[in-house]
Amino acid sequence: MNLTLKIWRQKSANDKGKLVDYKISDVSPDMSFLEMLDVKQSIDRKRRISCSF
């Protein structure tokens, strides 16, 4: 499955924060929501930013 996730990103309480789009592929229907986010993490690794959810 290919999905587009809209994830709220906010570095700290003082930061304004915004929704960021993530396109992810290779999502299996057997995955839990959190396991799907693991797939998203592999994208983050490439971008060298930490996950904040």
Residues that bind another protein (CB under 8 A): 11-12, 28, 30-31, 34-35, 38-39, 41-42, 44-45, 47-52
DSSP secondary structure code for residue 15 in this structure: S
Is the separation of the CB atoms in 12 and 21 below 8 Å?
no
DSSP secondary structure code for residue 14 in this structure: T
**Between 4 and 50, whose beta carbon lies closer to another protein?**
50
**Between 4 and 12, whose beta carbon lies closer to another protein?**
12
Q: Nearest distance from residue 11's CB to another protein, in Å? A: 7
